[in-house]
A and B are shown apart, each in its own frame.
Chain A
Amino acid sequence: MHLGNQIAPSLSEHMLVDTIDRFGRTPSSRVAVVLHLSRLRPPAPRPHHRRVARALLQDTAQRHDGQVFVLRNGDQVLICLPGVPGAGTVPRRILHDHPIIGSSTRLDPRALPPMLIRLMQIDAPDPTRLTSIFTLPADQSHLAAYAAARLAETVTPSSPEDEGFGPTAAANAIGRAIQAAPHAHRLHRQTGVMVSLSTMSGFRQLFAEYDMAGPGIAATGLPGSPPPVRDPFLLRHLAGALDQLLLQTIVNTVRRPGPFAPGNAAIRPRLHINLTLAGLGLPGFTALLERCRNARISLAVEVSLLDASADPDGFFRARDRLHRSGVDVVLDQITHLALAIAAPATLGADLYKLDWSPRLRTLDPHDHDGLRRSLAEMGLDRIVLLGANGEDALLWGLSHGIRRFQGRHVAIILAAERVLACPHSAGCSLAQCADRAAATDPEGRNGCLNLDLLDGITSPQAVPPDGLGQ
C-alpha cells in the first residue's frame, strides 16, 4: 500500500501494537525477538536476507505458538512462548561441534539471536545491534515504544530487486552492445605504482594495465543499452568472449596511447593485460607475445582468482607456459572475503592484487589475524592493493607493509609528479592529468602537450621492467 513515495503503515505494524498491548495485560509469559534488518549495510537487506530470516523465525513461531511480523522498514519481529532450554534432541551426530547449533536451537527462541547474528554479520556494521530480545509482560513498555516508532515512521519504498540475475537474452544483447561500443568506453588503462620509502623517491610506476571493461559495463549497463547483467556466471562468460577483442585492440593500435606506439621502450613500464585462461590460447595472444618481444616490452598477464579457482590445474599449466615465455602471472580480484575461505598463495603467482574495501579497517580480531596470515603467505612484496582510490586505502596498505598500489588516489599522486616535472602544465589540474593518463584513445588526451611524460616514456620515476620493480 503506497501513498505517493511513502509506504503507509501496514497491517503488520498495527497488529504488532495490538499484540504487544494484549500480552502486556495477560500474566502468561512471552518472548519477543526483534531482527533489525534495517540496520544492515545497504544494499542489504537483500531479498534472500528477508526470506531466510522469515523462514527461521517462522519455524520457531510454529514450535512455540508464535507469530512473525514483517515490518515496512524490513525489520522482523517474532513473539512466541518461551522455550525449554535443553529439551528434546536434534541430529547431533554430525553437527555436535558446530558453533551455531546447539541441541536447543530449535527449541528455545532465545537461541535465535546468535544464529541470526552469525548469518548476517558480514552485512552488519554493528552485529551487537542486529537483534533485541524482550520478555513480556516485563518489557512491554520498551517493545511497545519500538512498535509505536515503527508505526509512526515514514518509510520510503525501495525499488524491487531483480533476483533472477537478469535473463540470459539480456547478456547476449549487452555483449553485442559492448562490442559495438566506442573504443574509449570499453578499454581501460590504469597505472600501478610502488612506494619506495627507503630511498625517499616517492611513487614509481610499476606497470600499465589494460583491460576490457566489458563485465563492468555489463553489470552497470550502457546508456541506451539493454538492462544490466548481474549473474556472475554470465559476466565471466562475457569476459571470455571479449578476450579476442581486447587482444586485437591492443596489438593493432599503433598510435598513442597504445602500448606499441613509437617511443623509448627501454624505460616503459611493464604491460599488464587482463585475460581469461581460455584467452591465452587465442592466436591474438601469440601475436601479442611477438609484439612485446619486438618492442622489448615486459609483459604480465592478469587472471582473476575466480577463473583460477574454477580451473586451478588449467591455471598451473598456463602459469608454467607463460613463465617459459618470460611472461609474469598476476592473480587479480582477490577480495578479503575470498581470503577468508581460500589460500591464493598456493597458486604461485608473481603478483597478487588485493581489492581494497573499507571493511578491511573494521575486521574483528579473528578475521584480521586470518587476513594477516594470508598476506604473509602471498608475500607483502608481491601484493598490489587494488582500488586505492582514497587516502584511507593507501594508509591501510602502508600500515600493513604493502608498497604496491593501483587506483585513482595513486593516479592523482603520479599526476602531481608529472605536473611538477612538466614545463607545459600551467593550466592543468591533477584530475585532468590523471584522466588523460588513463585515456585509451587520442581524443581523451586532448590538451596535453607532453605525451611522452604522460605515457611514462620520459617519466623521471619509471621503474625498469625487472619483474617486481626492485
Chain B
Amino acid sequence: MSSFSTPDPRSAAGGDLARSRMDDPARLLTLIGETVNTGTAREVLWLSLSMLPRPLAEPHHLRLAGDALAPLEAADRMRKFGLPNDDQIVVWRGAANELVAQCEALVRHLFADEPTLLPEPDRLVQRFRLPVDAARMREKIARSVPPEPDEPSALSVAAALTLATLAALEDNLASANVARFARRRDICMCNDDGSFGPAWETRILSSRELAETLKPDHDLRADPWLFRRLTRSLDRRMLALLSAPEELRSAGPFGINLTIGSILAPDFLRFDEALPGRLRGHVVIGLDPADVMTDPAGFGFARDFARARHYRLLLRGLSPAGFALLPRGRSGIDLVQLRWSQAWADTEMALDDPSTIVVSGADTVAALDWGRARGVRLFQGRVVSPATRRNTGHRL
C-alpha cells in the first residue's frame, strides 16, 4: 500500500514521455523478431536506468540520462526505444565504437557526484548484438514490464469471502474512499506500420488493493459468485467517481466494466446524464459473460438501452470455449475481448470479424503475433501497454 502514499517519482515523470513509450516493448520485440528471421545484424546499447537508486532517479536525472545517448543518433539506421521501467535502448547497424564511448562518458559524468550510489558501470550500460542476443533481450524486455495492477499475488493464500465477510465489506465500501483504488488499463490499436496507439483506457477499481486495505488476508475472487455480487457495490462507487464533472471534462475514450443490474440502476442514469456529448459513442461498457447469462432478458433490455444511448458493449474475458458458447452474432454485442492463453494458439477457431476482437492479456510477443496474424488490431496487455506507467494517485 505504500505505493499510494509515496508515489514513485518514475511514475510522476510519465506524462508525454510515458505515453510515447506505450508501444515500445512491442516495437522492440518486433525488431528483434525481424533480425532473427532475416539474420540481419544489429548493435544494441542498453541503458538500465531502472537500476538507478531513487535519489538518482528523479525526473531530471532520467531526462539527462536519456540525453546522454544523443551521440548514437548519428549511427546508421539508429532506432531508440524506451521501456516502461525507464530503461533506454538504442539499436543501430554497423560499428560505432566511438559514439558508444561518448555515450558511456556522458553517463559517467552525469552521475560523477554520486559514485557510491551508482550501479556498476558495466551493468548500467550494456552492449548486445542481434540476432545472437535475441533471447537475452527478450527476457530483459519481459522483466521490464510490470505486472497488471489487478493480478493476483503469486504468494496469495488469502481466505475466500463468506456471506458474513461480504456483508461487512459492502458496509465498509459504502463509506470508503475508493478513488485511490482506481486504475487504468490501456486498450491499444495496432497501426498499419506496426506501431501501437491508444484506442481507449478501461477504468477499474483494483480489487486486490481494495482487499488489502478493507479485508486483509481475503481473496475477493476466490468465490466467483460472491465477487460478482461485490461488483455491484464497486460499480456504484465507480460510476459515482466517473460522474464527477472534473473527471469527464478531460476524459478521452474510456471503458468501464459493469453488471447488467448496474446499467439499469439510477447511478448509471446519473452517469449517463453527466456524460458529455463528445464522449457519446466513445465509451465501452464491459460485461461479464456469466452476468449476461444470469438474466438474458435483463441483458437484452440493458443492451438495447445502452446502445440507444450510444455506448459500445464488450463481452469480457472469453476463452475459446466461451467464445464458441456466446457467438457475437447472437448476443448482439459490439466487441468481444478474448483472454489470451495457450488454448487460443491451440485452437483452429476462426475469428469471423477481427475488427470486433480485443486480445487481452497480451503479455507476450506470442499473443501479439497470434492476434496480428488473424487481423486483430486491438490489444491489452503488458507488451503493448505498461499499465503502471501512470499511477495517478487520487485521480482516475
Which positions in A face B, CB cutoff 8 Å? 48-49, 51-52, 55-56, 90-91, 93-95, 98, 100-101, 105, 115, 118-120, 122-123, 163, 165, 167-169, 171-172, 175, 231-234, 236-237, 240, 305-306, 308-313, 315-316, 335, 337-338, 340-344, 346-347, 370
Q: Secondary structure of the A side of the interface?
A: helix
A93-B281, A306-B290, A335-B296 are contacts. A312–B225 as well, Cβ < 8 Å?
Answer: no
Q: Which of B162, B226, B308, B330 contacts A233 (CB 8 A)?
A: B226
- Whether a CB of chain A sits under 8 angstroms from the CB of B334 is yes
* Chain A residues within an 8 Å CB radius of B322: 309, 312-313
Total interface residues in chain B, CB < 8 Å: 53
- Whether a CB of chain A sits under 8 angstroms from the CB of B74 is no
CA distance A308 to B299 in the complex (A): 18
Residue of A nearest to B163 (CB): A172
Q: Tell me which of B163, B307, B343 has the highest count of chain A C-beta atoms within 10 A of its own C-beta.
A: B163
* Chain B residues within an 8 Å CB radius of A90: 280-281, 310
Per CB-CB distance, the 7 closest pairs between chain A and chain B, nearest first, are: A91-B281, A310-B290, A312-B321, A172-B163, A48-B264, A337-B296, A168-B167
CB-based contact B308/A119 at 8 Å = yes
A306-B290, A342-B326 are contacts. A234–B297 as well, Cβ < 8 Å?
Answer: no
CB-based contact B321/A346 at 8 Å = yes
Residue of A nearest to B328 (CB): A341
- Least distance between A61 CB and chain B CB atoms (Å): 13
- Least distance between B305 CB and chain A CB atoms (Å): 5
Residue of B nearest to A118 (CB): B304
CB-based contact A95/B307 at 8 Å = yes
CB-based contact B326/A341 at 8 Å = yes
CA distance A54 to B297 in the complex (A): 20
CB-based contact A95/B324 at 8 Å = no
* Chain B residues within an 8 Å CB radius of A55: 269, 272-273
CA distance A95 to B306 in the complex (A): 12
CB-based contact A343/B321 at 8 Å = no
Enumerate 22 A-B pairs (CB-CB under 8 Å) in ascending A order.
A48-B298, A52-B301, A90-B280, A90-B281, A94-B281, A95-B310, A98-B307, A118-B304, A119-B301, A122-B300, A165-B261, A168-B229, A232-B294, A237-B223, A237-B225, A306-B293, A310-B289, A338-B296, A341-B326, A341-B331, A341-B332, A342-B330
- Least distance between B44 CB and chain A CB atoms (Å): 40
CB-based contact A312/B325 at 8 Å = yes
- Least distance between B276 CB and chain A CB atoms (Å): 12
- Whether a CB of chain A sits under 8 angstroms from the CB of B9 is no
CA distance A168 to B300 in the complex (A): 26
CB-based contact B281/A305 at 8 Å = no
A122-B300, A233-B229 are contacts. A94–B331 as well, Cβ < 8 Å?
Answer: no
- Whether a CB of chain A sits under 8 angstroms from the CB of B292 is yes
CA distance A95 to B282 in the complex (A): 11
- Least distance between A229 CB and chain B CB atoms (Å): 10
CA distance A309 to B308 in the complex (A): 27
CB-based contact A94/B305 at 8 Å = no
CA distance A306 to B225 in the complex (A): 11
B350-379 interface bits toward A, Cβ cutoff 8 Å, 1 = contact, 0 = none: 000000000000000000000000000000
CB-based contact A309/B229 at 8 Å = no
Q: Tell me which of A172, A231, A232 has the highest count of chain B C-beta atoms within 10 A of its own C-beta.
A: A232
CA distance A101 to B307 in the complex (A): 8
- Whether a CB of chain A sits under 8 angstroms from the CB of B216 is no
Residue of A nearest to B319 (CB): A313
- Least distance between A334 CB and chain B CB atoms (Å): 10
CA distance A295 to B297 in the complex (A): 43
CA distance A232 to B170 in the complex (A): 17
* Chain A residues within an 8 Å CB radius of B300: 122, 337, 340-341
Q: Which of A95, A100, A172, A305 contacts B304 (CB 8 A)?
A: A100
CA distance A337 to B293 in the complex (A): 9
* Chain A residues within an 8 Å CB radius of B162: 172
* Chain A residues within an 8 Å CB radius of B305: 52, 56, 119
CB-based contact B280/A115 at 8 Å = no
Extra inter-chain contacts (18) besides given A95-B281, A101-B310, A233-B226, CB under 8 Å: A48-B264, A51-B264, A52-B264, A56-B305, A94-B312, A94-B334, A105-B308, A118-B304, A122-B301, A123-B297, A171-B163, A232-B295, A234-B225, A313-B322, A316-B321, A343-B324, A343-B327, A343-B330
CA distance A315 to B319 in the complex (A): 12
CA distance A49 to B255 in the complex (A): 25
CB-based contact B167/A172 at 8 Å = yes
- Whether a CB of chain A sits under 8 angstroms from the CB of B228 is yes
* Chain B residues within an 8 Å CB radius of A308: 325
* Chain A residues within an 8 Å CB radius of B232: 165
CA distance A167 to B167 in the complex (A): 8
Q: Which of B294, B296, B301 contacts A340 (CB 8 A)?
A: B296
CA distance A315 to B298 in the complex (A): 25
- Least distance between A76 CB and chain B CB atoms (Å): 15
Q: Which of B163, B266, B290 contacts A309 (CB 8 A)?
A: B290
* Chain A residues within an 8 Å CB radius of B304: 100, 115, 118-119
- Least distance between A467 CB and chain B CB atoms (Å): 24
Q: Which of A98, A168, A233 contacts B294 (CB 8 A)?
A: A233
CA distance A90 to B224 in the complex (A): 39
* Chain A residues within an 8 Å CB radius of B319: 312-313
CA distance A316 to B224 in the complex (A): 18
CA distance A197 to B290 in the complex (A): 39
CB-based contact B293/A305 at 8 Å = yes
CB-based contact A237/B321 at 8 Å = no
Residue of B nearest to A314 (CB): B321
CA distance A309 to B170 in the complex (A): 26
- Least distance between B291 CB and chain A CB atoms (Å): 8
* Chain A residues within an 8 Å CB radius of B164: 169, 172
A90-B280, A168-B229, A313-B319 are contacts. A340–B167 as well, Cβ < 8 Å?
Answer: no
- Whether a CB of chain A sits under 8 angstroms from the CB of B166 is yes
- Least distance between A342 CB and chain B CB atoms (Å): 6
